[in-house]
Amino acid sequence: MWNPRIQHDSKLKYLGIVDAIESDIKNRLVRPGDKLPAQRAIAELLQIDLTTVTRALNEATKRGLVETLRGSGSFIAQTAFSLYNISSLIEGKNIDLSMNNPPHPSLINLQDEIVKGLTEIQKKGHSFDHLNYQETAGNPADREAGAMWLTQRIPDITSDKVLISSGAHSALFSILSYLKQTHHVIAAPALTYPGLRAIADHLGFGIVSITMDEQGIIPESFEQCCQNQQLDILYLIPNIDNPTTATIPITRRQQLVEIAEKYDVIIIEDDPYSPFQDDLLTSLYSLASQRTWHIATLSKCVSPALRVAYIVAPDLEQALSLTEKMRISNLMAPPLMTLLASHWIFNGMLQQITHAIKSENRLRHDIATAIFNKTLLTSSAVGPHIWLALPANWRALEFAEHAHRSGISIVPSSAFVTGSNNTQAVRISLGGTIDRQSLTDAFNVLARLIQRKTIRSKAIV
């Protein structure tokens, strides 16, 4: 029988009981099937309220540490040992698979390339201009480099429409701040980038949730929303969507653009992942440049440390107007990092880095498909994250909490919702670990965890 105790470094008394049970399981001080004393006996032994014991055992049950048989009492669960056997693989390592960082590619040492690139810039005798304050829109030479990089997705682009921002999040904030003067409602996918919700709430935008399927938002749903109310802006990640990994096919893109034109809706095309795609689809900007704002960041295809993103405005006049808003919120993009990005664009290194990260994404994707149930998995073979649906016995938030206790951070679907949505899934990023073996170990823990049957209960106090 388990010897009741409280782990005194826990934040709350009832959690001290749960943590003590968990610790004793990890240290093999109890065995599967060992019985726990009756709740009243535990309360008397520890000199605490009965309600505290009830709350503790309910929490231990939720964690899969304890199981209760009606009329027989509570026992140490067999499933707890299965979890900790596999969790020992990552013991001492907290693995963050919640942030969509690009993985460190095995083909290129990015740190060495940064040092090498800055050394090459210094040897070329660049002026000290990039050590001074820059124009808010960006140095003209850097804007030219940005236009050059963007021509693959937006042919015939000119640098006078290109602005440089300190990352995609900052770009989105600036664009919405500018549009807020005359526009007030954003249409967005039912599941989308959480930063949009945060910015919209801060600026006072309303958000209308558009129904999705495996190919992104559904045109008929978008048009129905346009008919039912005034929609001003449509926000989309059309390539390797965050979080669902969907890529909107060209026919659907054309339909969405036609609807946007019919109801005079502005489009914001957030496009961080298209550099990974083997076959580029026509951008929304190319289909409707007069009403589309395009955002392209280097954070996902190179490194978030660069803090460089490019904005393509619908026309020169709006580019100049946006510059005024950018000057207020973000004086300029980091000049030295922007210069390095331009240097890499001109000498071809940026494309090499992107290709190396894409190859690493593909290798890590293969690990995921080998471990997870394919019927639950949605992914792009070259994307930086996967979307894992959960069985009916799991809720996303609970699954993420259990994963966190095992040392793995992932993001539940609730973080991405824009309206009422009951999707139970998690986004798992592929770039959170330097080595593939750690990623494999983490995936094995999650795959084992997903097979457990949870018992949800609330303490009655």
Task: Give me the domains of the chain, ranges plus CATH numbers.
Answer: 13-76 (1.10.10.10), 90-106+352-450 (3.90.1150.10), 127-347 (3.40.640.10)
- Residue 276, classed as helix, strand or coil, is helix
pLDDT digit string, tens, across residues 99-135: 999 998 888 999 999 999 988 888 876 656 777 888 9
- Taking all residues of the chain, what is their mean pLDDT, rounded to a whole number? 90
Q: So what's the pLDDT on residue 456?
A: 44
> b/e for 424-434, b at 16 or more Cβ within 10 A?
bbbbbbbbbbe
pLDDT digit string, tens, across residues 259-297: 999 999 999 999 999 999 999 999 999 999 999 999 999
Q: So what's the pLDDT on residue 90?
A: 54
- Say which range, 47-61, 201-215, 338-352, has the weakest mean pLDDT: 47-61
Beta bridge partners of 236: 269
Q: Which residue has the tokens 């940026």?
A: 350
Report strand pairing: 309-312 vs 162-165: antiparallel
Distance CA 395, CA 409 (A): 16
For residue 457, pLDDT over 70 is answered with: no
For residue 79, pLDDT over 80 is answered with: no
Mean pLDDT confidence for 143-154 = 95
Q: So what's the pLDDT on residue 459?
A: 34
Q: So what's the pLDDT on residue 84?
A: 59
Q: So what's the pLDDT on residue 460?
A: 31
Higher pLDDT, 220 or 441: 220
For residue 431, give every residue at least 6 positions away whose Cβ sits within 8 Å of its Cβ, in sequence order, or none.
Answer: 99, 100, 101, 102, 103, 104, 360, 361, 364, 384
What percent of the chain shows pLDDT beyond 70?
A: 94
Distance CA 60, CA 66 (A): 6
DSSP string covering 91-133? TT--EE-SS-PPP--SS--HHHHHHHHHHHHHHTT--GGGGS-
**CB contact at 8 A, 183 and 266:** yes
Higher pLDDT, 256 or 137: 256
C-alpha distances in Å from residue 420, one per residue of 15, 97, 122, 136, 413: 32, 26, 54, 39, 12
What percent of the chain shows pLDDT beyond 90?
A: 70
Q: How many CA atoms lie within 13 A of 257 on its CB side?
A: 21
Report strand pairing: 408-409 vs 377-379: unpaired
**CB contact at 8 A, 280 and 289:** no
Distance CA 160, CA 320 (A): 9
- Residue 286: its H or E element: helix 284-287
Distance CA 305, CA 336 (A): 12
Distance CA 78, CA 271 (A): 46
> b/e for 36-49, b at 16 or more Cβ within 10 A?
bbebeebbeebebe
Mean pLDDT confidence for 151-168 = 94
Q: So what's the pLDDT on residue 326?
A: 92
For residue 408, pLDDT over 80 is answered with: yes
pLDDT level of residue 458 (50, 70, 90 thresholds): very low
**CB contact at 8 A, 100 and 432:** no
Q: How far is CA 432 from the centre of its chain?
A: 11
For residue 390, pLDDT over 80 is answered with: yes
For residue 13, pLDDT over 60 is answered with: yes
Q: Model's pTM, two decimal places? A: 0.81
Q: So what's the pLDDT on residue 277?
A: 95
For residue 89, pLDDT over 80 is answered with: no
C-alpha distances in Å from residue 50, one per residue of 1, 20, 320, 403: 19, 17, 67, 29
Strands, DSSP E only, in 119-170? 162-165
- Residue 178: its H or E element: helix 168-179
Residue 394 is which amino acid?
W
- Say which range, 23-32, 41-50, 161-170, has the weakest mean pLDDT: 23-32
